[in-house]
């Protein structure tokens, strides 16, 4: 609309809604022109992309498919990633714009499978008899070498019916994740030595022992008894070979001498190191029992509760017979076999 007042002319413009004075309206946006091959030409195709180990299609609409064929222009890329159990490595597979027909795509990822934490044998576990057998500190992986076998060793009771148990690194394991499947092996208990056995004394520490327990159990023969079989002294609860049981080994059989004997304390006192050595004889041991412990051989100056008889050694090493029960002073601690 135009109006004139007096000598001065005033120009009044009525603008359309959204219009800006002095600026022409912007033309509507148009999409970028799509690539179109020249008449009579065909774009090149790259070689079909074959998924490598652990590779899967990526997420979204641009995911690659197995044996996907990309082109130089219209479909020049697609996405892939590594499957669970592999280190993450998302990648875009490309067909170069200037690729020759049948050229390989590029940006192929390498997927590295995750390794579980090293497996350390628990109590009583040993390598299994099934292959592949585990070794201590073995490192398993999410896909290849993902399992091995263990079993409970001798002297341990298993909680399952199967001897061999599989240790597994899960297919979806993260790097450093713990393995699964470890069985529980329970140490077998040793029967306590019979406290009611005549002539045998077992310490209180012999009770409640199981495979591998050390120390605290001592088994000896009483004064007046000798070890006719086995060994006296400290005992260890040991696994029974090829069994899930355990036992104390070589427990002594204590056999009574025919008559009373001197006590260990008396023998020890009479054979004290550094003083005059005396040798004490058992009183009337049975036939066939005359061997005694030789201190210079065994280092043991205390009678081992064996029936023994002593001869006094002269300077030439020849002994003179002594009456049973007689205390004889000798030049060195040496008791000979009774003849």
pLDDT tens string for the chain (339 positions)?
444 444 444 445 554 454 445 555 556 655 555 556 667 678 999 999 999 999 999 988 899 998 999 999 999 999 999 999 999 889 999 999 999 999 999 999 999 999 999 999 999 999 999 999 999 999 999 999 999 999 999 999 988 778 899 999 999 999 999 999 999 999 999 999 988 888 888 998 999 999 988 888 999 887 667 777 888 889 999 999 999 999 998 888 887 765 444 455 554 554 444 333 333 333 333 333 333 333 333 333 333 334 343 333 333 333 333 333 333 333 323 333 332
The count of other CB atoms within 10 Å of the CB of residue 81 is 19
Give the per-residue pLDDT at 230: 84
Q: Are 102 and 75 in contact (CB under 8 A)?
A: no
Structure tokens at 313: 């050694």
Give the per-residue pLDDT at 180: 96
d(CA 59, CA 128): 42
Collapse the DSSP code of 187 into the 3-class scheme (helix H, G, I; strand E, B; otherwise coil) and give the result: strand
The arrangement of secondary structure in 45-112, i.e. its CATH architecture, is: Ribbon (2.10)
Counting Cβ atoms within 10 Å, is residue 315 exposed (0-12), middle (13-18) or buried (19+)? exposed
Give the per-residue pLDDT at 227: 77
CA 319 → CA 210, 282, 307, 311, 332, distances in Å? 49, 17, 18, 5, 12
Give the per-residue pLDDT at 121: 96
Q: Are 173 and 142 in contact (CB under 8 A)?
A: yes
d(CA 120, CA 252): 39
CA 218 → CA 233, 305, 337, distances in Å? 5, 15, 28
Give the per-residue pLDDT at 292: 39
d(CA 255, CA 198): 8
d(CA 289, CA 302): 18
Residue for token pair 């003083």: 275
Count helices and strands in the chain by DSSP H and E runs: 2, 21
Give the per-residue pLDDT at 46: 96
The count of other CB atoms within 10 Å of the CB of residue 58 is 18
Residue for token pair 């298993």: 158
d(CA 205, CA 234): 10
Give the per-residue pLDDT at 279: 33
pTM score = 0.60
Give the per-residue pLDDT at 59: 84
- Closest-CA residue to 253 (of 223, 285, 228): 228
């Amino acid at each position: 609309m135009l109006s004139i007042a007096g000598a001065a002319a005033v120009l009044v413009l009525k603008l359309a809604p959204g219009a800006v004075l002095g600026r022409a309206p912007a033309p509507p946006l148009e999409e970028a022109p799509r690539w179109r091959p020249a008449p009579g030409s065909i774009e090149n195709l790259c070689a079909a992309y074959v998924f490598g180990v652990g590779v899967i299609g990526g997420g979204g609409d641009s995911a690659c498919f197995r044996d996907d064929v990309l082109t130089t222009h219209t479909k020049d890329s697609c996405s892939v990633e590594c499957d669970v159990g592999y280190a993450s490595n998302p990648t875009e597979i490309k067909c170069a714009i200037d690729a020759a027909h049948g050229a390989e795509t590029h940006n192929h990822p390498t997927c590295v499978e995750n390794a579980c934490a090293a497996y350390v044998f628990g109590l009583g576990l040993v390598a299994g008899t099934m292959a592949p057998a585990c070794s201590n500190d073995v490192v398993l992986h999410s896909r290849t070498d993902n399992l091995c076998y263990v079993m409970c060793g001798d002297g341990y009771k298993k909680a399952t019916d199967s001897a061999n148990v599989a240790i597994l690194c899960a297919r979806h394991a993260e790097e450093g994740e713990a393995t699964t499947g470890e069985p529980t092996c329970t140490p077998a208990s040793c029967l306590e030595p019979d406290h009611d056995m005549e002539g045998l004394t077992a310490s209180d520490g012999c009770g409640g022992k199981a495979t591998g327990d050390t120390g605290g159990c001592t088994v000896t023969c009483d004064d007046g008894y000798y070890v006719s079989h086995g060994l006296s002294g400290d005992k260890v609860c040991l696994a029974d070979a090829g069994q899930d049981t355990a036992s104390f080994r070589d427990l002594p059989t204590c056999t009574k001498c025919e008559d009373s004997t001197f006590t260990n304390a008396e023998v020890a006192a009479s054979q004290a190191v550094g003083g005059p050595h005396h040798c004490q004889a058992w009183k009337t041991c049975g036939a066939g029992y005359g061997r005694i412990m030789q201190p210079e051989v065994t280092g043991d100056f205390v009678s081992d509760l064996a029936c023994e008889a002593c001869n006094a050694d002269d300077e030439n090493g020849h002994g003179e017979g002594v009456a049973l029960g007689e205390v004889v002073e000798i030049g060195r601690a040496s008791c000979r076999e009774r003849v």
